Structures are given as structure tokens and as C-alpha cells.
Structure 1
Amino acid sequence: MDTELKTLCARLLAQRVLPRADPLVRRALMDEAFRAELDERLAGTGLRLVENPYAEHVALALAPEMGEPVFGAGETWQNNTLGLPRDGVALLVVLWALIILPKRERQIARVEAGREGQSDMFGALKPLATGEAVSCGVSEDALYADFGRKLGGRTRFSANLGRLANLGFVTRRNKWIEEGPLLDVLIDYSQLAPRIIEGALSDLLSQRRGQPAEAAAAEPEPTPAGQTEEA
């Protein structure tokens, strides 16, 4: 087991991300003793394995107690260790909200529908819905039209999108952006989703609901038939 643990740790460090279907990853997710030893070894270096049952990959991240020593090591607090500027992080959050949030809704809906229709005693052990069947992408041109100017303009937008693709958060093909192996696993859904749905998205929807009333109040009242405005 020692050799397998060394191999898995080394591959995670070298490749940054591994598919759940990998034999050693599957063992780490299913073998409690193997996972406990893996967690202990990673914790000794300030790291932890990150995974969720809906994601198709696993990766490494900083242990929670290492946040301040790593991100607060300089004169100012770093927002990431990947070299992303602030507008790059903003673009990453936007892409996560557009791709992962809808995907997760479809995955949860499939799981709930499957539970309602279960008639066998082992139905709960079936794998959760993942993959391209529930994932979606976004148009690069549409994304720029909606957010490009707020994210630094065309040059900054393209540069940051290229960085995200190189890091493995997204893939780009023919002006179409899709989920990369890291997008769903390195961002904590339980923390970010409520902030977007109950925070930013809620504010946006409230603004949109208020716009028609404000617009109607701003419009001049129609002039009765047969009269002119001067009258």
C-alpha cells in the first residue's frame, strides 16, 4: 500500500488533477484505510484531497489552516496561488455560475427522480449523474457581450480566458467554452452557490423586477385623443 500511496501523491502533485475512474483514485474514494493514510500524508504537507460525488475529477487544495500562512504571506492578501489577476478570478466565478450551477441542478434532479422511481434495495448505491449529458457550455461571444467590458475589455478578457483554459478550468473550441477538469472540483459549491443564488443573483433579479415599474413611472402619460401636448 505504501508504494501505491506514494504513486498517487506524486501523480496528484505532478498532474494536478486525476479522473475519478483512475484505479488509485477509486481506491482512495472507496477504501477507508487507504484514504485515511492518504489524508494523513497530504496533511503533513498542508494539502488535502478535494472531490465531490458530482465531479468527474479529484484534485489537491490547501488545507484550511494553511490559508493565512500561504495567502497572507506577502504585504497584501493574495486572492489565489495560480497567478490570476482579480478580473481573471471574476471571470472564473462567472463561468462557474453559468456552467456548474445549471449542471448541478440537472444532476440533483436526476438523482431525485431516480430515488422516486427506485424499486430495488441497492438503488442508492448507483453512481450519480455526471458527464457531458448534464454539462453545458457558453458562447465566448455571448459571454463577452454580457461581461467583457466589466472584465477589462477584449484584450484582458481573452488573456484571462486563455489562462483559465491553460490551468484546466475550462476548454475552448470554436468560440465555445465548456467545463474543464478543475472547474467543478476546486470551487466549493456549498460555499459559493448560496452567495450567488441568494446574493448576487437575488439582487440582479430584484433589479430586473423593479425596472418595468420604474420605466413605466418615467414614461409620460399618454395624451387623450384629439388633444395636443400643448393643450
Structure 2
Amino acid sequence: MDHEITTLTARLLAHRWLPRTDTQVKRALVDESFRVELEARLATAGLVLLDNPFAEHVAVGLADDMLDAVFGGREYQTSTMGLTRDEVALLIVIWALIVLPKRERQLGRRALSDDGQNDMFGQEKPIAYGEEVSGAISEAALMADFGSQLGGKTRIRNFALGKLARLGFIERRNGFIYEGPLLDVLLDYRTLADRIVNGTLGDVLAAAGHRLAQPDGEEETDETDAAGDGSED
């Protein structure tokens, strides 16, 4: 087991994230002793395992008590990834447009193509991941709705979206923006959902024609005890 934990730790550090379908990751999610040993190994380097049972990937991040020592001062509270205020705002908008409806479908055990009308046993399905439940947003529509508020269309298209893609928050394909491996891991649904839906951003999104469902409490899953939430802003 020690060799497998060492290997998984090295892979997490090298790749930054791994899919939940990975054999070693799946063991960490269901084998309590393996998970405890993995977390202890990461803790010796000031790291924690980041896992959200609704996300398709797991990742590693800094332990809270290491933030000041690593980043120095309090500036990191804005962003630990070098994002500007406009880029953080863009990230939150994208998160709201992709993750909020995705979570609604996951909690309802519905796929993108399912309106929930014809499935008597939908609540008995396992929670789905990937593009089965996570939709895409058009870059052109995003520019039209929010370009002027978020630094200008040229800056968003040529710089901000590319930066978010390199960091692993999004994927860009054929003019559409898809969920990246870190979008639903690093941004905490429990913290953000209510603030967005019932806050100023919810009004801005509604004015642009985007319907945001009222957030429900995330239910426990079979993996929750083993995985925990682990998300952080």
C-alpha cells in the first residue's frame, strides 16, 4: 500500500488533478485506511486532498495554515493563481452558468437531454458526471452578455479565457466553453450558490436571460463519508 500511496501522491502533484475514475483515486474514495494514509502523506507537505462528490476530478491544494507562509501577507485572498479582479469575476460568471444548472440536474438525477417528466425512477440513479450533466456556454453569447462589464470582448477572448483554460477551470472547444477539471473542485458550491442566486450577480444574470435555480442543500452520497467536500474558494 505504501508504494501505491507514494505513486498517487506523486501523480497528484505532477498532474494537479486526476479523474475520479482513476483506479488509485477510486481506492482513495472508498478505502478509509488508504484515504487516511494518503491525507497524512499530503499533510507532511502542507497539502490537502480536494474532493467534491459532485465533481468529476480530485485535486490537491494548500492546507489553510500554510496560506500565509506560502503566499505571504493577505493578498492571496483575492486570488492565489494570479487572476485579476476582472478574471475572477469572469470565472464566477462561468461557474454560475455551468455548475449551478449542472448541480440541479445532478440532484434531480437528470441528464442534459432529460426534462424529468418521463423517469419514474430517476431518484434511484447514481449521480452523473461529465458532459452527461455539465452543459456548455457559447463564447459569443458570453461576450454579448458580459463583455463590457468584464474588461472588454477582446481582452476576454484573447487573454482571460485562455488563462482560465490553462489553469484548468475551463475547456474551450469550437467556440464553446465547457467545465474544466477544477471548476467544480476549487469553487465551493455551498459558499457561492446562495450568494449568487440571491445576490447582485443573480440579478445581472437574470437580466441577461439566464435562469438560475434556487440552490438546494447538497444531499449526502455514498461517497461523502469517504470523500468529504474539500472544496475551497
Shared fold (TM-score, shorter chain, > 0.5)? yes
Cα distance in 1 for residues equivalent to 2:16 and 2:34 = 20
> Is residue 85 of structure 1 aligned with residue 123 of structure 2?
no
Q: Which range is displaced more, 136-145 or 184-193?
A: 184-193
Aligned AA for 1:101? L
C-alpha distance in structure 2 between counterparts of 1:81 and 1:187, whole Å: 13
**Distance in 1 (alpha carbons) for counterparts of 2:185 and 2:82:** 19
2:32 aligns with 32
Structure 1: stretches of 5+ with no match in the other structure: 209-231
- Separation in 1 of the partners of 2:74 and 2:16? 28
For 1:147-186, what aligned pairs fall within 5 Å after superposition?
147-158=146-157, 159-186=159-186
Q: Deviations over 1:163-187 (max 9, x none)?
A: 1111221111121111111111111
1:103 equivalenced with 2:87 (yes/no): no
Q: CA RMSD in A?
A: 2.6
Give the structure 2 partner of residue 94 of structure 1: 93
Counterpart in the other structure of 1:45 = 45
The aligned amino acid for 1:166 is R
Q: TM-score, normalised by structure 1?
A: 0.78
Structure number with greater CO (CA < 8 Å, separation at least 6) is: 2
Tell me whether 1:198 sits opposite 2:209 in the alignment: no
Distance 1:144 1:191 in 2: 26
Aligned to 1:127: 126
What is the Cα deviation at residue 64 of structure 1? 2.3
Q: Which runs of 5+ in 2 are unaligned?
A: 111-115, 209-233
CA drift of 1:132 comes to 1.2
Residue aligning to 1:62: 62
Structure 1 residues 156 and 118: alpha-carbon distance in aligned structure 2, compared to 1, 3 A threshold: closer
Give 1 or 2 for the bigger CA radius of gyration.
Answer: 1
Superposition map of 1:134-145 within 5 A: 134-145=133-144
Query: Cα gap change, 1:108/1:206 in structure 2, threshold over 3 Å: closer, same or farther?
Result: closer
SS in 2 for 1:21: coil
Q: Aligned residue for 2:221?
A: none
CA distance in 1, matches of 2:68, 2:194: 24
- Give, in angstroms, the shift of residue 10 of structure 1: 0.6
Query: Relative to structure 1, is the Cα distance of residues 75 and 202 closer, same or farther in structure 2, using a 3 angstrom cutoff?
Result: closer
